[in-house]
Amino acid sequence: MYVIDPVGKERAYGYYPTPSGATFHYRPPWNGPVLPEAHPDPEGHFDHLEIGTYAFEQAHAFGAIRFTMDIWEHYFERQLEWHFQDHYDRLEILFLRGLDNAFAGFGSIEIGSYTLKTGELVEFGLSFDILSHELGHLIIYNEIGLPGKVEVHGEYFGFHESAADMVALISLLHFDSAVVGLLDSTSGNLYSFNRLSRFGEVSNSSQLRSASNDRTLYEFADGWAYEHDLSQVLTGALFDIWIDIFHENLLRGHLISEELEDLSDRLEGDPDYHKVIQPLFDQAYARNPGGFADALVGSRDYMGFAMASIWERLSIETLDFADVYETFLEVDHAMSGGQYHRIISLNMERRGIGVISAGPRLAPPDESSHAFSSRTDVPDDLPHRCGGRLPFRMLHEISQIR
């Protein structure tokens, strides 16, 4: 993988119409001018780069994506390949400043930004969550396949977003500072408003979506329009399973009482949950913070190995949320002898997973779709084709590409 900061690239990779009616496939690599690259110091380090500079953001993006790749090669217990390796030998990580999104495509990850209501700009190149999430899409493309070549169940698209979220959430807890910070701020009560459950944090009080949510498949029985909304059903179930396994680890280590664990289960969703539960977790955590950290890391690694094993076993032709549920049970049997069978079943079925299916997609994918777009199409091996005259800016882009 390599990072570039293009000059003059004004649009994301994809298909664009030409005045003559032909279609231009705009795709990597970018061969035009770029901003100066980040360089290491004589000892090979990048910690001399100043926060707020483009060079710092470039190094951060590379580091975040590379670190995430290392983490998931550990969980898969093998080297991960690119699904585009027959066309490109490296992933192009590039900045498209002004793009109000971040995209994983065929051979690239394009990084934009987000504008808060206050007008403040949040650079996605500085968001570990978002960078890890985009790499998650590429991992799933390689492990399970690309849509478009075969007919897929609509829940595949929600699964894709959920899997990418899980890549980011599990990866985040490979920073000691994230583990300690999370536990210090919650005392282990992870159903509180916290850093782990807030995916794509863009401010102290705002995020793109929450892993701790109450979405169910029943909401989508008549159909759905956006895969990010649909994905929250599966992500919510997986997050609840994760927290329940964390609680089981705490119980086994005698770090919380059975009464506290039972009370937490019974009050889940109750308006008084935090008022009753938080003081009890505060007392338990204060007695053994290190034990809580070990329990959390243990649950993190269980989920990491489980997700990798599940994704290896899924088939794009049959994939839906129920398939993920059934495969999770198989994987848990192989990993723990079925120790968490009840936890998995309870949380999946409470969301309607394995009970009903989502209805049809009610609208075609738009530009917010990450799992199914022109960016993901496998290019043919012919040169770029276009007829007629293109706008000057696109002509400039084409001249820089070829």
Place of tokens 């799933």: 140
Both tokens of 301, joined, read 């690694």
pLDDT band at 221 (very low <50, low <70, confident <90, very high): very high
* 300 plus 397 within the same structural domain: no
Query: Could you tell me which of 249, 170, 171, 242 has the C-alpha nearest to residue 212?
Result: 242
Poorest-confidence range of 128-142, 238-252, 378-392? Answer: 378-392
* 354 plus 392 within the same structural domain: no
- Is 142 domain-assigned? no
Place of tokens 């005259």: 389
- Is 146 domain-assigned? no
Range of the domain at 205: 152-369
Q: Say whether pLDDT at 187 is over 50.
A: yes
- Is 233 domain-assigned? yes
* 80 plus 31 within the same structural domain: yes
Place of tokens 């585009």: 84
Poorest-confidence range of 203-212, 272-281, 291-300? Answer: 203-212
Query: Could you tell me which of 134, 83, 136, 84 has the C-alpha nearest to residue 111?
Result: 134
Cα–Cα distance, 29 to 84 (Å, whole number): 12
Q: Helix, strand, or coil here: 88? A: coil
Q: Say whether pLDDT at 21 is over 70.
A: yes
* 160 plus 35 within the same structural domain: no
- Is 144 domain-assigned? no
259 Cβ neighbours under 8 A, 6+ residues apart: none
Strand 23-26 with 14-17, pairing: antiparallel
Kindly report, residue by residue over 95-108, the tens digit of the pLDDT.
998 888 889 999 99
Q: What is the mean pLDDT of residues 295-308?
A: 98
* 106 plus 174 within the same structural domain: no
* 278 plus 388 within the same structural domain: no
* 54 plus 166 within the same structural domain: no
Cα–Cα distance, 152 to 4 (Å, whole number): 34
Q: Helix, strand, or coil here: 352? A: coil
- Is 115 domain-assigned? yes
- Residue 331, CB half-sphere, CA atoms under 13 Å: how many? 20
What's the number of domains the chain is made of? Answer: 2
* 365 plus 389 within the same structural domain: no
Neighbours of 368 (CB within 10 A): 11
* 33 plus 119 within the same structural domain: yes
- Is 298 domain-assigned? yes
User: C-alpha angle 117/231/70, rounded to 5°?
Assistant: 90
In the prediction, which pLDDT does 8 show? 92
In the prediction, which pLDDT does 209 show? 57
Q: Say whether pLDDT at 94 is over 80.
A: yes
Which region holds residue 312: left if phi is over 0, alpha if psi is between -120 and 50, else beta?
Answer: alpha
* 387 plus 327 within the same structural domain: no
Query: Could you tell me which of 263, 44, 291 has the C-alpha nearest to residue 187?
Result: 291
Both tokens of 299, joined, read 């649950």
Kindly report, residue by residue over 319-376, the tens digit of the pLDDT.
999 999 999 999 999 999 999 999 999 999 999 999 999 999 888 776 666 555 566 7
Query: Could you tell me which of 302, 184, 180 has the C-alpha nearest to residue 243?
Result: 302
Query: What does R_g of the chain's alpha carbons equal in angstroms?
Result: 22
Kindly report, residue by residue over 312-321, the tens digit of the pLDDT.
999 998 899 9
Cα–Cα distance, 88 to 82 (Å, whole number): 9
- Is 223 domain-assigned? yes
In the prediction, which pLDDT does 241 show? 96
Neighbours of 169 (CB within 10 A): 25
In the prediction, which pLDDT does 91 show? 97
Poorest-confidence range of 148-152, 385-389, 391-395? Answer: 385-389
In the prediction, which pLDDT does 33 show? 96
- Is 374 domain-assigned? no
Kindly report, residue by residue over 141-169, the tens digit of the pLDDT.
999 988 765 568 889 999 999 999 999 99
Question: What is the residue-averaged pLDDT of the chain?
Answer: 87
Enter the pTM of the model. Answer: 0.89
Cα–Cα distance, 294 to 180 (Å, whole number): 11
Kindly report, residue by residue over 59-82, the tens digit of the pLDDT.
999 999 999 999 999 999 999 999
* 350 plus 390 within the same structural domain: no
* Burial class of 389 by CB neighbour count within 10 A (0 to 12, 13 to 18, 19+): exposed
Most confidently modeled of 7-11, 166-170, 199-203?
Answer: 166-170
* 356 plus 304 within the same structural domain: yes
Q: What is the mean pLDDT of residues 180-192?
A: 91
Q: 175 versus 97: which is more confidently predicted?
A: 175
